[in-house]
Chains A and B, each alone.
Chain A
Amino acid sequence: AQSVAQPEDQVNVAEGNPLTVKCTYSVSGNPYLFWYVQYPNRGLQFLLKYITGDNLVKGSYGFEAEFNKSQTSFHLKKPSALVSDSALYFCAVRDFTGGGNKLTFGTGTQLKVEL
């Protein structure tokens, strides 16, 4: 089965500094990778996805992610963090195992941006 891992439960960063939220993947075949954000008491909001093409994917709210095949990573990045970016971030992979079609999520990383 396909899987993703988010090694950090929490990331703290000062406002204005660059941020990175890490994700590594384990897939057979080509990976279809996603990032979602979840604000308190809200559903998940799509940020960006990688299907094929350029390794640097740009998404919503100034976020981007870099697909690295040799390191099997898909880290989420933003050049300058905002306090409003504080939320729970999930990496996910599209899983077609056994004829299915679902998103398999990581355990999430809580991002805290402080003044």
Chain B
Amino acid sequence: EAGVVQSPRYKIIEKKQPVAFWCNPISGHNTLYWYRQNLGQGPELLIRYENEEAVDDSQLPKDRFSAERLKGVDSTLKIQPAELGDSAVYLCASSLNSLHGYTFGSGTRLTVV
């Protein structure tokens, strides 16, 4: 079984540029999460999807961040425009439902210069 697939693995962009991350969860997993992990810290939830519905986006900075999961399968997370403080690892995770354990992807390391 393929795990949670994220791309790209690394991204370096200049500030004020847009950037997008992609996640393909484990097949059949209805719940998808995006987390952000700053250097030296634990991951923090940005948004949770149940199928195609964003059921918890309270931690998503909506002025510059957006996410979608149109068909309830893969998902994209976008930042526009990026700021220096957005440099972090962006982790995607999925689970069968919100009560099951998570499987994390390898993450996308974003560096904003």
Contact = CB atoms under 8 A, between A and B. Distances in A.
Interface of A: 34, 36, 41-46, 49, 90, 92, 98, 100-108
A44 B56 contact: no
Interface string B55-90: 010100000000000000000000000000000000
A77 B40 CA distance: 22
**Size band of the B side of the interface?**
20 to 34
Interface centre among A45, A102, A103, A105 (most CB of B within 10 A): A102
B43 A44 contact: yes
B103 interface: yes
Contacts of A101: 48, 56, 98-99
B80 to A, nearest CB: 25
A22 B103 CA distance: 23
Contacts of B91: 43-44
A102 B33 contact: yes
A43 to B, nearest CB: 4
B42 A106 contact: yes
Given A100-B56, A101-B56, A45 B42 contact: no
17 contacts: A36-B104, A41-B106, A41-B109, A43-B93, A43-B104, A44-B93, A44-B102, A46-B101, A46-B103, A98-B58, A100-B48, A101-B98, A102-B45, A103-B43, A105-B44, A107-B42, A108-B41
Nearest to A4: B42
Interface string B17-37: 000000000000000010000
B36 to A, nearest CB: 11
Given A98-B58, A100-B58, A108-B42, 12 more contacts: A42-B106, A42-B107, A43-B6, A43-B106, A46-B103, A49-B101, A90-B42, A90-B43, A100-B56, A103-B102, A105-B42, A106-B42
